[in-house]
Amino acid sequence: MQTLTPVTLRSRPSLDEHELALVNARLETASPSEIVAWAHDRFGARLAMTASFADTTLIDIATSVAPDVEVIFLDTGFHFAETLNAVRRAMERYALNLTVLRPPADAADVWEHGSDACCAARKVDLLDQHLTGRVDAWLSGVRRADSPERADAAIVSIDRRGLVKVNPMANMTDDEYERYIAERDVIVNTLQYDGYASIGCWPCTEPSTDGRAGRWGGTKTECGLHL
């Protein structure tokens, strides 16, 4: 009987600094769909994406290129009902390959431990644990127009985990973004019609038409996922 030798499947190597610079230069003028196509061609099944369900623009773009891409939703336990309804509507429209990550029952919360600890336990740690060792790259919906803190966001970068982070919509202007939503009839979280320009967890999100200014009572604009 033939003896089989176990083989460890290796992921594709990450991008070095030289290739990273070349890729960013080439993709700077590419469309979001072309950027997703590059990422899917490079990383295949080891590519995933995150979605907050403020709308489904990135989902619409990504699934038009890679219908089976894994879509990760961080269910913090504190989402608005409107956000969960957007998840349901997206499942119906796109038949998503959806992974829902939930924190343990004793995870830190905003009232007892503060917003930084709450975000870490209910978002950052969950994503760290899920991505590490499972994917080589992930897509996010970060746009430079979102906030001053995101104005220099690269299309492709290496995140703190050593994974390739791809922002296909980084160079979309607000006009381009809104036009895409209208032309494609993208699913929009109905809280946007009630004055919520940015939508996170209900304890830490207030109505605001000024980008991410309604998040965390103005004490910060990022939860840590994109730092």
What residue type is 211 in one-letter code? G
Residue among 31, 25, 21, 20 nearest 172 (CA): 31
The pLDDT of residue 221:
81
- The answer to the question of whether 119 is labelled as a binding residue is yes
Residue 225: band (very low, low, confident or very high) from pLDDT cuts 50, 70, 90: confident
State CA 138 to chain mean position distance: 8
Q: Give residue 227's pLDDT.
A: 65
| Euclidean distance between CA atoms 194 and 207, whole angstroms | 7
Tens digit of pLDDT for each residue in 40-71? 999 999 999 999 999 999 999 999 999 999 99
204 is in an annotated binding site: yes
Catalytic machinery residues: 223
- Identify the weakest region by mean pLDDT among 129-138, 142-151, 163-172: 142-151
Quote the mean pLDDT of the chain: 91
Taking only the tens place, the pLDDT of each residue in 159-194 is: 999 999 999 999 999 999 999 999 999 999 999 999
Q: Is 201 annotated as a binding residue?
A: yes
Window from 15-19, 93-97, 100-104, 222-226 with minimum mean pLDDT: 222-226
Predicted structure pTM score: 0.90
- pLDDT level of residue 2 (50, 70, 90 thresholds): very low
User: What confidence tier does 98 reach under pLDDT thresholds 50, 70, 90?
Assistant: very high
**In the predicted structure, residue 21 carries a pLDDT above the cut 50:** yes
What is the arrangement of strands in the sheet containing 164-166, beginning at the earlier edge strand? 97-101, 70-74, 47-50, 137-139, 164-166, 156-158
211 in Cβ contact with 219 (< 8 Å) = no
| pLDDT in the model for residue 159 | 93
The domains of the chain, with CATH numbers, are 17-182 (3.40.50.620)
Tokens of residue 18, six digits: 């030289």
